[in-house]
Each structure stands twice: as structure tokens, then as C-alpha cells.
Amino acid sequence: METPLSETLLSETGERPLQLPLDAWHRARGARMVPFAGYEMPVQYEGIIAEHLWTRSSAGLFDVSHMGQLIVHGDQADAALESLLPGELKLLNDGRLRYSVLLDEDGGIVDDLMATRRGGHFYVVVNGATKHDDLEVMRLRLPRTVIDHMHEQALLALQGPRAVQVLERLIPGVAELSFMQGAAFTIAGKPAWVSRSGYTGEDGFEISIAASAAEEVAEAITADPFVKPIGLGARDSLRLEAGLPLYGHDLDRATTPIMADLGFVIGKRRRAEGGFSGALRILAELEQGAPQRRIGFTLDGRQPVREGARILDAEGNEVGRVTSGGFSPSLQRPIGMGYVATHLSEAGSVLMLEQRGKLFYATVAPMPFVPHRYHRKAAA
């Protein structure tokens, strides 16, 4: 394998990244900071497994201020966005969120994102590592649309089964939000945009506030004994258990929404009308299937098979690659995601994985690995 311990330990240091608004706050709480997406980010406080299980059983506070928060202005913002995203945005109600993907001309995924209609504009949250590229793509391809980057905005996520009771104490009325709905509130005397959404599979909220208010808001939330700060390490293991793809790993420009098993992002009207970037290819794949498909897998034993491992068929031919792999703290077994030839993507199919010359048997498993517990209200 050729990875000495000294190197694994060193690989967490590098050139000087930017600091989050809560940098000092994280350090004071014992966070280990690592460079990620151009920022120094807290990877863990007390330990990834403990933080992971705490989030699943109580409530965890994540600092995701590295993510890009954008405003797409104008009456025609929905039409403009619909030329780049395959989702139904024209009929999206005020205060509703939609998960979508930004597409290049070939239908490859430039980023995945959340778009919210917020009065006369759209509020769009994109990945931290890709936000500058996204802005460039959007400004180039939507030259008549004004797009602002909210540089001075922080983003916190409160996730877990106790998130709602914790936040309701600080923001009376917030419990009325249903999954994928947002509204303006006040928290600790500061204006905030709060949505019921997240990246863990749990019920929870994302809270957008001015960077200058971040410390006060984080203090107010973590004053509740049900809340602990949670690092990036557990964020990754939680999203993997929830079957949620991570851009740059499980999604990239070489993958389309159909390959990524994200067909649900293509709105019903959009399927009939097309008119979005890469529509020709994506609608053909929707009809005929894509050559590869994103799958989840489980492994026996305890050893994780990680990103980059080759996936082989019974004859030893390469039929795909692992794109995320790790140890599931909730299930106490290794799990992962990858892409395989579509004929091998049915749940229950047995795959062979090769990592550092060692072979592993994996079984294609339905995702999420751990059931989602979103707060969905019955349709009115």
C-alpha cells in the first residue's frame, strides 16, 4: 500500500487556507482543523464515531460556512435557472426548496445544489469546493441574470432527532416548517433564513446568518445540552449512510443525473419539454438507461473499501469504481458507493472489489443504508 503512518498523519497539513467565521470558536472546543475546500475546517472534536452517533440520537451542530450561498435575481430567475438545471422551478412555491444539479452542455454534473424561491429571487446553496467555478459557469451562461455571492454569510446546520425541540426553544414557530421548506426568522436577536433540510438523513435545519452573528448563534444553540458541535468527518459518514452523493467524489462532470441515479431531479414538465443543458443526452438516458449507474454496497467483515478501488465482474473485468467508502458507525460494518455497469446494478448483485491487490465481495444494497427520518407533512 505504501502509506506510512507518518504520511497519513501529515496529509492533514498543507498550504494556508481561509478561515471560517467560527474558526476560533471551533479551536476553543478542541476541534482538529484540516484544510478542506479552501478553508480550515473542523474535522472532529471528540471523535468521528461518537459525533456520528450523537447526531443520530440527539442533535449535532455543523459549520458549513464554506458552502457557497448565492442569490439569483430577477423576475425571470426561474426561467434562467431552468436553462441550466433540470428541475421544475417555475412552479416552485415561495419558501420551498428543490434539490437540483447544475449541468454542462453534455449533461455532465457541474455541481449539486439546493435552490429556494425566496420572494423575488432564488437563494441557491452550492458546494464549497466548486462555488467559484459555479459562479463562473452561471455568469457566463446567464449573462442577463444578476448573481450575487453572499461572501459575508455563514451557514450552520442543526441535525438530528432533537434538532426541532432545540431550535423551537430559540425560534418559536420554526417547528411548523416541513421538510424542504424555509422562512425568515430571528435567532439570538439576529435575522436568519432557516430551512428544514440537511445532509445527514435526519430531521434538521440549515440556518443562514451574517458571518458577524455566527458566534452568538452557535453559542445559543450549543448552550442546549442536547447539542454538540460535529465535524466534517461525521458529516461524511452520516451522508454516506443516508445514501447522499458527495460532489467531486460520487458526482462530477463525467456523470449525468441518470447515471447518478438522481432521475428524480428531472421535473415532469421538463421531461416532456426538455430545454435544459444536456437535455438531449439526459432524456435519451432516461428513456433507454445509462451505461453505468451509481449503486450502494455493503461488505462483510470490518475492512472498508475506499474511493478509487476497482469494481470487477466475475471474470475479473473492470466494470466500475468505488467513489465513496467507509465504515458505518450506525451499522458497524463497511459500506460504500460506486458506479457499475447497469446490468450489475440490481440490489443483491454480488460484485468483486479490488483494493491494493486484495479482493473483497460486495453486495449491491438499496440506499439509504440507514432510513431517512425527514419531517414530511401529509399532503394538504
Partner 1 sequence: MTLYFTKDHEWIRVEGDTATVGISDHAQAALGDIVFAEVPEAGRALTKGGEAAVVESVKAASDVYAPASGEVIEGNAALVDDPALVNREPEGGGWFFSMRLSDPTELDGMMDEGAYREWCKTL
Question: Does residue 278 interact with partner 1 by CB under 8 A?
Answer: no
Note the helical H segments in 223-325.
232-241, 268-273, 279-288
In the chain, the amino acid numbered 91 is L
Sheet holding 32-36, edge to edge: 18-19, 39-44, 32-36
Binding mask 283-302 vs partner 1 (x if CB under 8 A, - otherwise)?
-------------------x
Is 363:297 a contact under the CB 8 Å cutoff? yes
CB of 6 or CB of 93, closer to partner 1: 6
Report the Cα–Cα distance between both ends of the chain, in Å, rounded. Answer: 56
CB of 50 or CB of 352, closer to partner 1: 50
Question: Does residue 49 interact with partner 1 by CB under 8 A?
Answer: yes
Question: Does residue 9 interact with partner 1 by CB under 8 A?
Answer: yes
* The dihedral sign for the CA sequence 53, 34, 305, 362: positive
Residues 32, 33, 39: CA angle, nearest 5 degrees: 165
Classify 26 as helix, strand or coil: helix
CB of 330 or CB of 342, closer to partner 1: 330
The DSSP output letter for 263 is G
Residue in the block written with cell 439546493: 114
Binding mask 27-46 vs partner 1 (x if CB under 8 A, - otherwise)?
----------------xx--
Question: Does residue 135 interact with partner 1 by CB under 8 A?
Answer: no
CB of 100 or CB of 237, closer to partner 1: 237
C-alpha grid cell for residue 356? 491494493
CB of 43 or CB of 192, closer to partner 1: 43
Smallest separation, CB 44 to partner 1 (Å): 6
Pick from 41, 23, 21, 56: nearest CA to 228: 56
Smallest separation, CB 189 to partner 1 (Å): 37
Smallest separation, CB 322 to partner 1 (Å): 13
C-alpha grid cell for residue 327? 465504515
Question: Does residue 5 interact with partner 1 by CB under 8 A?
Answer: yes
Question: Does residue 198 interact with partner 1 by CB under 8 A?
Answer: no
Is 67:150 a contact under the CB 8 Å cutoff? no
Q: Which residue from 47, 274, 291, 371 is in contact with partner 1, where contact means CB under 8 A? A: 47
Smallest separation, CB 325 to partner 1 (Å): 10
Classify 288 as helix, strand or coil: helix
CB of 50 or CB of 175, closer to partner 1: 50
Residue in the block written with cell 454496497: 297
C-alpha grid cell for residue 130? 466548486
CB of 96 or CB of 306, closer to partner 1: 306
* The dihedral sign for the CA sequence 174, 179, 184, 187: positive
By CB under 8 A, how many residues form the interface with partner 1? Answer: 26
Question: Does residue 362 interact with partner 1 by CB under 8 A?
Answer: no
Report the distance separating Cα 140 and Cα 134, nearest Å.
Answer: 10
Is 135:146 a contact under the CB 8 Å cutoff? no
Smallest separation, CB 336 to partner 1 (Å): 13
Question: Does residue 1 interact with partner 1 by CB under 8 A?
Answer: yes
Question: Does residue 229 interact with partner 1 by CB under 8 A?
Answer: no
Question: Does residue 237 interact with partner 1 by CB under 8 A?
Answer: yes
Question: Does residue 8 interact with partner 1 by CB under 8 A?
Answer: yes
Q: Which residues contact 75 (CB under 8 A, 6 or more apart)?
A: 120
Question: Does residue 249 interact with partner 1 by CB under 8 A?
Answer: no
Question: Does residue 55 interact with partner 1 by CB under 8 A?
Answer: no
Give the binding site for partner 1 (CB under 8 A): 1-9, 11-12, 43-44, 47-50, 233, 237, 302-304, 306, 326-327, 329
